[in-house]
């Protein structure tokens, strides 16, 4: 795929919209200027790639709306070198944004088709996250604990295994709820291990499901 001046122009317009909608962190806006979102959709859908909407990516899943990706990323307060666990690699776009911000990213996907596709695409953009085909409810203990944990699907509850794999002082962002909409929850673990939660309004996600897809 090609990343042209036209694509860069479309990215700039999208970034202006994100800023208008309240994304204030300049590092996140800069990351959106850099990552070619149209690479994460089929070639026919370039226009949709730079519109602020969610979009089908196969296996019944969606690439999250750019605003939602930016909002979740902003809540995480990513610092360079942070170890970040993402649940729901999907297209890999959010993974690329986290890499662009200098995080060491570990990302899990339960749909094999999507895992394989992201695993092929992401290295071509020179990002080096570790991707895994598996069930995000279990986390990825081998590389934990993590500074930040991000769930990008609607979780029926906050998985204990993930809370256990969060570092003291860490932040975790979870879209919580099983209905049509989820409540965006920021969970923080204090340095002495106390958990607290704050809510940041309603969003819409595909569901977080148990086990890998058959
Ligand atoms: N971050 C993605 C969003 C994809 S939608 C992107 O930027 O494109 C959410 C993804 O979570 C879907 O691909 C879905 O298959 C995946 N998912 C759902 N339940 C999961 C689980 N238990 N473990 C890992 N991935 C899961």
What residue spans of 21-165 are helical by DSSP H? 26-34, 46-49, 66-76, 93-100, 112-124, 160-164
Q: Which atom of ligand 1 is nearest to the CA of 111?
A: 15
What residue spans of 85-132 are helical by DSSP H? 93-100, 112-124
Catalytic hit among 4, 64, 190, 196: 64
Antiparallel, parallel or unpaired: β 182-189 and 195-203: antiparallel
- Interatomic CA distance for residues 85 and 95, integer angstroms: 10
In this prediction, residues 85-99 reach a mean pLDDT of 98
- How would residue 127 be classed by pLDDT, with cut points 50, 70 and 90? very high
CA of 192 to the centre of ligand 1 (A): 31
- Interatomic CA distance for residues 75 and 184, integer angstroms: 10
In this prediction, residues 47-66 reach a mean pLDDT of 93
Closest residue (by CA) to atom 20 of ligand 1? Answer: 208
Instruction: Give the residue from 160, 155, 166 showing the smallest Cα distance to 188.
Output: 166
Active site annotation includes 199: no
Residue 89 in contact with residue 114, Cβ under 8 Å? yes
CA of 207 to the centre of ligand 1 (A): 8
Instruction: Determine the pLDDT at residue 214.
Output: 73
Does 209 sit in the ligand 1 pocket, CB within 6 Å?
Answer: yes
- How would residue 170 be classed by pLDDT, with cut points 50, 70 and 90? very high
| Sign of CA pseudo-dihedral 93, 97, 100, 103 | negative
- How would residue 78 be classed by pLDDT, with cut points 50, 70 and 90? very high
Residue 107 in contact with residue 128, Cβ under 8 Å? no
Is the pLDDT at 44 greater than 90? The verdict is no
- Interatomic CA distance for residues 93 and 3, integer angstroms: 15
Instruction: Give the residue from 23, 13, 3 showing the smallest Cα distance to 73.
Output: 23
Please report the domains of the chain, with CATH numbers, ordered by start residue: 5-203 (3.40.50.150)
Three-state secondary-structure class, residue 133: strand
User: How is residue 5 written in tokens?
Assistant: 């001046």
Counting ligand 1 atoms within 8 A of each CB, the residue from 152, 161, 165, 204 with the most, and so the one to mutate, is: 152
- How would residue 140 be classed by pLDDT, with cut points 50, 70 and 90? very high
């Amino acid at each position: 795929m090609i990343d042209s001046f036209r694509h860069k122009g479309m990215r700039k317009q999208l970034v202006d919209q994100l800023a208008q909608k309240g994304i204030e962190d300049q590092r996140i806006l800069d990351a959106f200027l850099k990552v070619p979102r149209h690479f994460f959709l089929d070639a026919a859908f370039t226009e949709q790639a730079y519109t602020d909407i969610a979009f089908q990516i196969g296996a019944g899943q969606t690439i999250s709306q750019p605003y939602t990706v930016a909002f979740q990323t902003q809540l995480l307060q990513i610092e360079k070198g942070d170890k970040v666990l993402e649940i729901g690699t999907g297209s890999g776009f959010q993974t690329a944004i986290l890499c662009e911000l200098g995080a060491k990213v570990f990302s899990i996907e339960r749909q094999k088709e999507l895992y394989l596709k992201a695993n092929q695409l992401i290295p071509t953009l020179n990002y080096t996250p570790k991707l895994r085909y598996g069930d995000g409810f279990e986390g990825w203990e081998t590389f934990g604990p993590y500074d930040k944990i991000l769930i990008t699907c609607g979780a029926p509850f906050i998985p204990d295994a993930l809370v256990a794999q969060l570092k003291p002082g860490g932040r975790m962002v979870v879209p919580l709820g099983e209905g049509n909409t989820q409540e965006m929850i920021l969970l923080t673990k204090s340095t002495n291990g106390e958990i607290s939660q704050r809510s940041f309004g309603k969003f819409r996600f595909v569901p977080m499901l148990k086990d890998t897809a058959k």
